[in-house]
Structure 1
Amino acid sequence: MLPFRRAIIFAAFFITAFILIRRAHSPEAPNPIRKPPPKHPIDDSALHHAPSTSNPAKADIGQPDKPIPAQHAIEDLSKMSLYDKLAYQYPYDVESKFPAYVWQTWKSTPADQDFKFRDEEGSWSYHHPGFVHEVITDQVAVHVLRLFYAPIPEILEAYNALPEPVLKADFFRYLILLARGGIYSDIDTYALKSASEWIPDTVPQKSVGLVIGIEADPDRPDWKDWYSRRIQFCQWTIQSKPGHPVLRDIVSRITAETLKRKKEGTFITKEKSIVEFTGPAIWTDTIFDYFNDPRYFDMKHSAGEITYRNFTGMEKPKKVGDVIVLPITSFSPGVQQMGAKDYDDPMAFVKHDFEGTWKPESERHIGEAQ
């Protein structure tokens, strides 16, 4: 249970959010996409060469070309697709600031005696003074989502239908970032540096809406025995501005798949494991689909499809449109494989313990255990 003072803060936060949601549905509501990222041609050289070590901005693979056509202010969301409902509810403005939030989830909060991650949780507060930092329990998460997604009931239906805590935890991180933005990081992670250092100084923050890192780069013939994708993006740490299209897309996919499986009465199978359903596999697929989406990128003038080859072996950040992709060292330092360097490397930003949580390694990879 939250202490009284913290409960007051939560109540104020929720009331403010509710007012913002009401305003979003007024007749003067803005278009779903207020300002598209600036248009630049695809950098052909970056598609075939490693990023410059002196200027990471030169690793820009391409900028979004055009936004999805904006919707007019519509009161009746029932006539819109789920993707468009989410765009209407939470518009994306790449030129806004990254919200100063740190979101984490666990069975208890730092106010509870049985909370086991005080050092990890404290590292995020230490490196992000002035940020709103919340550890949200399953009981609180339900109420948070009801507040933010009440106008889109299929989201709530899908969340409640998920049968495993790990599935709900995966879904929640995308939902909270879509609605509020900020940083999500698993409870068993340590912040090694402030998020202000994640984006290279040469890259304007007004041109970036999503920061992701590589989880796995298994350059070996048997990579499919251990990982779900040749390049796998991690989703234990994500930074985003509200409404980003990647989050909008993955929320739409998980919702549609969940409601389909609810109707069929099937959820986790060997063909659709947790990692594929809500985890890093679908996260990685959604990101690559965004990188190759003609709604956002000028694919006619592209040097080719963006694939894992554009990221394997990278040691410096790459910018793909409005997305910063960090090398494996940034969110996976010290793993002693796949080119990851140690915790004291300048590019090491987050340490992940991979222990003490309800999400074992067997649920992140496709090894023989599955």
Structure 2
Amino acid sequence: MMAKFELLAKEMRLKQDEQAKLFEKQRRVLERRIKELKKLPDEATLREKLAYAFEYDSSRRFPAFIWQTWPSQGMQDSKGVLVEDVASNRANWDEKNPGFVHEIINDNIAGALVRHYYASIPDVLEAYNSLPNKILKIDFFKYLILLARGGLYADMDTVPLQPIPNWVPAQMDPGKIGLVVGIEHDAKDATWRNEYVRRLQFGTWIIQAKPGHPVIREVVAHITETTLDRKMRGELNLNFRNDLNIMSWTGSGVWTDALFTYFNDYLRSGVTKKVTWKEFHNLAVPKLLSDVLVFPEFSLKAPNKISSDDPNKSMYFATHEGAKFWKTVPKVEDPSAPQKLQ
């Protein structure tokens, strides 16, 4: 009798769970339809348009996407087979993360995705199309795809050492984390100005985000405004072999500024204290501040050879070769920016 009762109770719970999932699906469909019926006023700001188009909910799961980019030329050989570097990189990430959707995006597909997700925000489209160098477009695309879809972006010169779901420490609630970043550089002396634009910088070669995160939104807005302003003033072209120019326009410099701006905006982050580079100086363990999880410099830039007695071994999540392939990437021909590279 008890066995039958337990079986009946189990069946009822299963039906309730299925019904709850159905209701949740119907709720999302209804919300989407209501949103489509609403129209933003013409005077809405760029940031308001981005926030409206890509809502942020920190309680949702991190989407199981891996995004990577590779130039249109050179991804496949004459027979349509992925070249060795691309195939090896795909295998490395897929082997560690079998349940993830893994997309390696070429230039043409990147442009198509940007047009699809940002069709209602023409300023973003104009800025993307106006960028005069491919590395600028690659940088901008990573933020654009993470804002729209979320997931994990990884440069092609990265290799995962642990599955992505293992990165968040067990004692932390993933529902309270919306963004995962690593430290790129933590200066030990005054010579940092020769190679970096900030005393401490956060890296962009690996970023994990939930769709619509405010930091990603701010970076997209800032790059859009900066690019359109440069275009208006006829200053789109710079010396793109200078790392500092890339960092300051679309790279880790502007990314770092957006993160510190977020931390120091109480209304958005909820952080009540002044946050400076000292908050993350000599970081030895993952640190959660607001909804941003920051990894130590070594976690996403792990050594190629790891000894068995290395005390940081459990916190090595990926390696980064730092190939700086943008040094050989040609500029993008833009009829609105006819100047030659300096």
Give the TM interval when normalised to the shorter protein.
Answer: 0.7 to 0.9
Q: Does 1:293 align with 2:265?
A: yes
Report the counterpart of residue 90 of structure 1 in structure 2: 54
Superposed, 1:119-158 pairs within 5 Å as 119-158=88-127
Q: Work out the CA distance in 2 between the residues paired with 1:342 and 1:254.
A: 40
CA contact (8 A) 1:182 1:241 kept: yes
Normalised to the residue count of structure 2, the TM-score between the two structures is 0.79
Report the counterpart of residue 147 of structure 2 in structure 1: 178
Q: Which runs of 5+ in 2 are unaligned?
A: 1-27, 329-341
Q: Which runs of 5+ in 1 are unaligned?
A: 1-20, 31-72, 361-369
Q: What SS class does the counterpart of residue 212 from structure 1 fall into?
A: strand
| Runs of 4+ residues over 6 Å off in structure 1 | 21-25, 341-344
State the 1:335 CA deviation. Answer: 8.4
State the 1:229 CA deviation. Answer: 1.1
Structure 1 residues 236 and 23, CA, compared in 2 at 3 Å: closer, same or farther? farther
Paired-residue identity, %: 40
Normalised to the residue count of structure 1, the TM-score between the two structures is 0.73
State the 1:142 CA deviation. Answer: 0.8
CA-to-aligned-CA distance 1:146-174 (integer Å, 9 cap, x gap): 11111111111100000000000000000
State the 1:226 CA deviation. Answer: 2.4
1:346 to 276, 299, 314: 314
How many residues align structurally?
291
Letter of the aligned partner of 1:230 in structure 2? R
Q: What SS class does the counterpart of residue 331 from structure 1 fall into?
A: coil
Q: Which piece of structure 1 moves more, 264-273 or 283-292?
A: 264-273
State the 1:116 CA deviation. Answer: 2.6
Superposed, 1:187-202 pairs within 5 Å as 187-202=156-171
Report the counterpart of residue 13 of structure 2 in structure 1: none
State the 1:195 CA deviation. Answer: 1.2
Q: Work out the CA distance in 2 between the residues paired with 1:231 and 1:98.
A: 27
Q: Does 1:274 align with 2:238?
A: no
Report the counterpart of residue 64 of structure 2 in structure 1: 100
Letter of the aligned partner of 1:354 in structure 2? G
State the 1:319 CA deviation. Answer: 0.5
2:190 to 213, 221, 228: 221
Report the counterpart of residue 251 of structure 1 in structure 2: 220
Superposed, 1:1-370 pairs within 5 Å as 26=33, 28-29=34-35, 74-76=38-40, 78-108=42-72, 109=75, 112-114=81-83, 116-269=85-238, 273-298=245-270, 302=272, 304-334=273-303, 345-355=313-323, 357-359=325-327
CA-to-aligned-CA distance 1:113-134 (integer Å, 9 cap, x gap): 4453322221111111121100
Return the structure number with greater helix share: 2
Q: Work out the CA distance in 2 between the residues paired with 1:120 and 1:146.
A: 27
Q: What SS class does the counterpart of residue 183 from structure 2 fall into?
A: strand
CA contact (8 A) 1:219 1:230 kept: no
Letter of the aligned partner of 2:257 in structure 1? D
RMSD: 2.7
CA contact (8 A) 1:333 1:351 kept: yes
Q: What SS class does the counterpart of residue 178 from structure 1 fall into?
A: helix
Letter of the aligned partner of 1:208 in structure 2? I
